Structure 1
Amino acid sequence: MEKMAKITLSNTRSISTLLSDLRSLFKAPVLIANVLPVLSGFWLAIYFTNASFMDHLNLFLLTIVGSTIVMAGALVINNWYDVDIDTIMERTKKRPTVTGHFSLNAVLTMGIVLTVLGFIVLLFTTMEATIYAFIGWFTYVVLYTMWSKRRYSLNTVIGSISGAVTPLIGWTAVTSGFHIVPIILFLIIFIWQMPHTFAIAMKKYEEYKAAKVAMLPVVHGFAMTKRQVFVYVACLLPLPFYLGMLGTTFIVIATILNIGWIVLCISGFFMKDDMKWAQMIFLYSVNYLTIFFLLVIIVTLPPFQ
């Protein structure tokens, strides 16, 4: 009985370790954060074309599944390519590519297979959605991970394109992307990623410096980074007004979110503890994106009968 108990415990730990490794390999929080704008883009396209969601349920599932698999493939390939950096940085030392739980060949194969499968699924939606997914994948894997991340402090700007196309994937699965709504959603995510990523780079300054990753705080210092954060957040202020068709409630809440972020940015010029400020900016940015994209869905929900 004791031996069986030990085997059971060992199996439980093995499953737990595998799930933890997969979560790390797929960067689960990042993956989920990128799926939400796809969902929001799809939902808004249904809303603005006066279509029925239930009539497009199969299309919705294909869009979400396909885009999620493509993004997972990109994140896995990023893990494969960045193994040397992950070995140095404290927060990434437990990734399976570093611990050796998964071989690098297996990780690369997984990333390629997931990417191909994801694009095959998306081809059953629309060509435009597939093209936007490819733009996101190519920008993240090639232009960001393999080319600019280690060389240029503009890597964040380049990498932000990949996250910003996510609502366009959802929208164009239903209708053409030549519409003010998906364009503004693209701009919001594109701009949002700069202060969000800069805050992370400040928090992990020593790790990025040791790994020789050309993040803005490492190359140009905290003072420059704080000014950049303020400028990018200020650029968000007018954007909700271009989505006036979503109603007054949306504009008011979105504007309050933006003003709150601006105030927090200004406080950074007076705070002596840069790390505390960076943590505040990071937490605000995470909640900002979640609230914003849940809000665009909530304000367009049909009224209860």
Structure 2
Amino acid sequence: MNIKNIKSAVSSQKNVRTNDKNLLVDLKLLLKGPVLIANVLPVFTGFWLALFVSNASFYEYFDVFVFTIIGSTLVMAGALVLNNWYDADIDAIMSRTKQRPTVTGNISLKTVLIIGITLTLLGFLFLFFTTVGAIFYAFIGWFTYVFLYTMWSKRKYTLNTVVGSVSGAVTPLIGWAAIAPSNHIIPIILFSILFIWQMPHTFAIAMRKYEEYKAAGVAMLPVVRGFKMTKRQILVYVACLLPLPFYLHELGIVFVAIATVLNLTWLGISVYGLFTKDDQKYAYVSFLYSVNYISILYVFMILVTMPVFK
């Protein structure tokens, strides 16, 4: 092989690696990687706490755990992909979503639709080996996100945040229902925490991306009602989180104390937001805190119940 052929072979290998890398980037954007991972954690937490309350062994339910996690992840991935498929037009307007393959054309819209439907069906196939309850809550989350949020309310009504919050809040119920009936105070509070949390979290994002949502014509609260109303709403929703940890006393006094401190800190940030004139700085701080808040809270729920792992 001469030098020219060697250089050509090396160049071809580099192109293959680049194409593979670009495909992985496109798939990550299509599946909304960080969002997907963030939604899997509550499923695991719900599953784990159901084991804790039922005094069951993780090893006894390991097969159910595998089917639950894989199934729910695929269903949520399918919903996120279908959201990208439907929102390709407004994603092209917003700078934070312009790199999605549905906008760049790296993956055709027809292919994206097929991927979304396929992932959804595969997800429910895996969940078929769990319980009716897990399938039910997964369907509620999928249907609410794809139809009621993405296709109906997102572009028309400020209540789109409320609708979208339902789909995110059912995730711990999927995990819990795979083990035990969901008519227990713990899964109800897990749902409530996630539902309420998503409101100020999403409002903070909408404040930060105000110009983009306005340009895209998405009816987010800051766009329709302004920053002052949005900051008052954030304060109200954060205040609603205050009593919830006390309903989780079965997780121990340490958890209740830590959760209360987290809630009071966020409440303080929200009060500060009412008086500051730097709305963008406040929105960034509130968003950053909200992300860490929910991660710490749900991970801590698992840590304080670690003895169930036997």
TM-score bracket, normalised by the shorter chain, equals over 0.9
2:24 corresponds, among 12, 19, 22, to 19
Q: Map Cα deviations across residues 110-156 of structure 1 (whole Å, 9 max, x no partner).
A: 10011011011101100011000000000000000000000000000
Pair 1:295-2:303 in alignment: no
1:208 corresponds, among 210, 213, 217, to 213
Q: Structure 1: how far apart are the matches of 2:184 and 2:57?
A: 19
Give secondary structure in 2 for the equivalent of 1:254: helix
The residue type equivalent to 2:281 in the other structure is: K
Q: Is the 8 Å Cα contact of residues 79 and 145 (structure 2) preserved in structure 1?
A: yes
Identity of aligned residues (%): 64
2:99 corresponds, among 82, 94, 106, to 94
Q: Map Cα deviations across residues 252-281 of structure 1 (whole Å, 9 max, x no partner).
A: 100000001001101112222101110001
Give secondary structure in 2 for the equivalent of 1:192: helix
Give the structure 2 partner of residue 274 of structure 1: 279
Q: Structure 2: how far apart are the matches of 1:14 and 1:278?
A: 37
Give the structure 2 partner of residue 64 of structure 1: 69
Q: For 1:128-167, what aligned pairs fall within 5 Å after superposition? A: 128-167=133-172
Q: Return the offset for 1:5.
A: 2.1
Q: Is the 8 Å Cα contact of residues 55 and 308 (structure 2) preserved in structure 1?
A: no
Is the alpha carbon distance of 1:111 and 1:304 closer, same or farther for their aligned partners in structure 2, counting shifts above 3 Å?
Answer: closer
Q: Structure 2: how far apart are the matches of 1:215 and 1:104?
A: 26
1:103 corresponds, among 104, 108, 116, to 108
Q: Structure 1: how far apart are the matches of 2:221 and 2:18?
A: 40
1:177 corresponds, among 175, 182, 187, to 182
Q: Return the offset for 1:304.
A: 10
Q: Number of aligned residue pairs: give it.
A: 305
Name the stretch that deviates more: 153-162 or 294-303.
294-303
Computed over aligned residues only, the root mean square deviation of the Cα atoms, in angstroms, reads 1.1
Q: Structure 2: how far apart are the matches of 1:23 and 1:71?
A: 14
Q: Map Cα deviations across residues 81-126 of structure 1 (whole Å, 9 max, x no partner).
A: 0000001000000000000000000000110011011011101100
Give the structure 2 partner of residue 238 of structure 1: 243
Q: Structure 1: how far apart are the matches of 2:309 and 2:215?
A: 55
Q: Structure 2: how far apart are the matches of 1:68 and 1:181?
A: 22
The residue type equivalent to 2:53 in the other structure is: F
Q: For 1:110-121, what aligned pairs fall within 5 Å after superposition? A: 110-121=115-126
Give secondary structure in 2 for the equivalent of 1:152: coil
Q: Structure 2: how far apart are the matches of 1:161 and 1:55?
A: 31
Q: Return the offset for 1:73.
A: 0.2
2:33 corresponds, among 25, 28, 35, to 28
Q: Map Cα deviations across residues 139-177 of structure 1 (whole Å, 9 max, x no partner).
A: 000000000000000000011000000000000000100
Q: Return the offset for 1:303.
A: 8.6
Q: For 1:65-84, what aligned pairs fall within 5 Å after superposition? A: 65-84=70-89
The residue type equivalent to 2:19 in the other structure is: S
Give secondary structure in 1 for the equivalent of 2:10: helix
Q: Structure 1: how far apart are the matches of 2:18 and 2:308?
A: 47
Give the structure 1 partner of residue 195 of structure 2: 190
Give the structure 1 partner of residue 3 of structure 2: none
The residue type equivalent to 1:175 in the other structure is: A
Unaligned runs of 5+ in 2: 1-5
Q: Structure 1: how far apart are the matches of 2:118 and 2:13?
A: 32
Q: Map Cα deviations across residues 48-91 of structure 1 (whole Å, 9 max, x no partner).
A: 00111001000000000000000000000000000000010000
Q: Return the offset for 1:233.
A: 0.3
Is the alpha carbon distance of 1:2 and 1:55 closer, same or farther for their aligned partners in structure 2, counting shifts above 3 Å?
Answer: same
2:58 corresponds, among 53, 60, 83, to 53
The residue type equivalent to 1:106 in the other structure is: T
Runs of 4+ in structure 1 off by over 3 angstroms are none
